[in-house]
Every structure is written in C-alpha cells, then in structure tokens.
Amino acid sequence: MFVNQFLFLAAVLFCIGVYGVIARKNAVLMLMSIELILNSVNINLLTFAMRNGSTDGHTFALYIIAVAAAEVGVGLGLVLLVYRNKKTISVDELSEMRG
C-alpha cells in the first residue's frame, strides 16, 4: 500500500487546517479548519491501522468523529451566543480582555 501518500495527504490537510485557524478571523471558518485537522488525524489513524493491521486506529477514528460532532455543536452554539450579543462572528472583535 502507498502509506506515504496518505500520510502526506494528512500532513497537507493538517497544515491547511492550521493555516486556517491562524489566518481566519471568522469563528465558523476557524471551526471548519479545526475539522480539517481532525480529519487529517483520522486519515493518519486509518492509514496506520491498515498498515499495522490493528483495529485500534479505526476505533480511535470513530471516537474522534463522534467527539468532533459534539465539539462543532458546542462551538456553533457559542458562536450564536456571541452573534446575539455582538452582532458579529469575527473573533478579533472579541478582545475586550487583554494584558
């Protein structure tokens, strides 16, 4: 199997995700970038699982998917809260506390 391609793909995804988190100011977009990272993780896990022939990777991936869903739920909830109070979802507006 072409393990390395998958790993490479995962790494690329990871980087894109990180870039997104850092570069984006929009809370939703940041959430999505994080999802990218998580998926890159999943790819990694599955790749290794296939290579090693163990199921742990699959299990792990499943858990991650589930938890990611929960996270997104909470995240969107929070974003909504903010939007309700501030009428914006740009996280840079959220710098009331600093120093």
Partner 1 sequence: MQTLNIFAAQWVAPTIDYFGLAPELVLAGGLCLVLMLDLFIDERKKWMLTAITSFTLLAAMVPVLMLALSETEVRTMFDGRYVVDNFSLVMKAVFLLAGYVVVLLSSSHIEEGEYWRGEYWFLLLTSLLGMLMMASSRDLVSIFVALEFLSIPAYMLAAWRKRDPKSNEAGVKYFLLGVFASAVMLYGMSLMYGVANSTLLTEIGAKITATGEFSAVHALAVVFVVVGFAFKVSAVPFHTWAPDTYEGAPTPVTAFLSVASKAAGFVALVVLLYTAFPLAQDIWQPFIWVLSALTMTIGNVLALKQHNIVRMIAYSSISQGGFVLMPLAVAGLAGSGTTALRSVVLYMIVYAATNLGVFAIILAVANKTRSGEISSYGGLFSYAPTLGVLMTLFLASLAGIPPLGGWIAKFVAFQSLIQSQSTWGYALAFVGAVNSVVAFGYYGNVMREIWMRPVPDSDTTLISVPGSLKLALVITAGATLVFGILPGVGLQFADLAEIAGAIIR
Partner 2 sequence: MNLLAAETEVLAPLASGWFLENAWLIPVIPAIAFALIILIGKRLPMKGSELGVASMLASLVLSAGAAYQWIQRVNSATEEQFVEPVIKSWSWWRSGGFDFGIGQHIDGLSVVVLFVVAFISTLVQIYSLEYLRGDRRYTHFFAALTLFSGGMLAMVLADNMILFLLGWEIMGLCSFMLIGHWWEEDANSRAALKAFFTVRTGDVGLLVGISMLYFAANDWTQENLGLSGFSIRGISAWALSGEPNSTVIMVAAIALFIASIGKSGQFPLHTWLPDAMAGPTPVSSLLHSSTMVVAGVFLVARLYPVFFVGLDILGSGGNLIMFIGAITIVISAALAFVQNDIKRVLAYSTVSQLGYMMLGLGAGAWLPAVFHIFTHAFFKACLFLGAGSISHSASHHSFDMKRDMGGLRKVMPITFTTWIISTLALCGVFPFSGFFSKDEIIDNVGNNGYNTFMIVGLVGAFMTAAYMTRATYLTFFGEPRGASAGHSSHEPHDAHGSHDSHDTHGDHDDHASHDAHASHGPHESGLLITAPLMILSVLALGSGLLNATPFGESWERMKLWVEPRAVEVVDSTYPGGPGESLFINVPSAEEGSSKSVCGTATPEKGVCYAPKLEHAKFKWSKAMLSMVIVFLGMAVSWILSMLLFTKRDARLVGLTQRVKILGVGHRFLVNKYYLDDLYEKVIVRSVAYPISNAAYWFNQNILDGILHSISNLTRKLSGWVYKNIDQRVVDGTVNNSATFTKSVGTAAQPTQSGKVSQYGALLFSAAAVAALVLVIINT
Q: Which residue's CB is nearer to partner 2, number 30 or number 43?
A: 30
Looking at residue 92, the DSSP 8-state letter turns out to be: G
Q: What is the CA radius of gyration of the chain?
A: 17
Interaction residues for partner 1, span 4-43 (CB under 8 A): 7, 10, 14, 17-18, 21, 27, 30-31, 34, 37-38, 40-41
Total residues binding partner 1 (CB under 8 A): 48
Give the chain's length. Answer: 99
Q: Report residue 25: phi and psi, to 5°.
A: -105, -15
Query: Considering the rule CB under 8 A, would residue 48 count as an interface residue with partner 1?
Result: yes
Nearest to 37 by CA among 74, 10, 71, 63: 10
Contacted entry of partner 1, partner 2, none for residue 92, CB cut-off 5 to 8 Å set by kind: partner 2
Please report, as ranges, the residues that interact with partner 2 according to CB under 8 A: 18, 21-25, 30, 91-92, 94-99
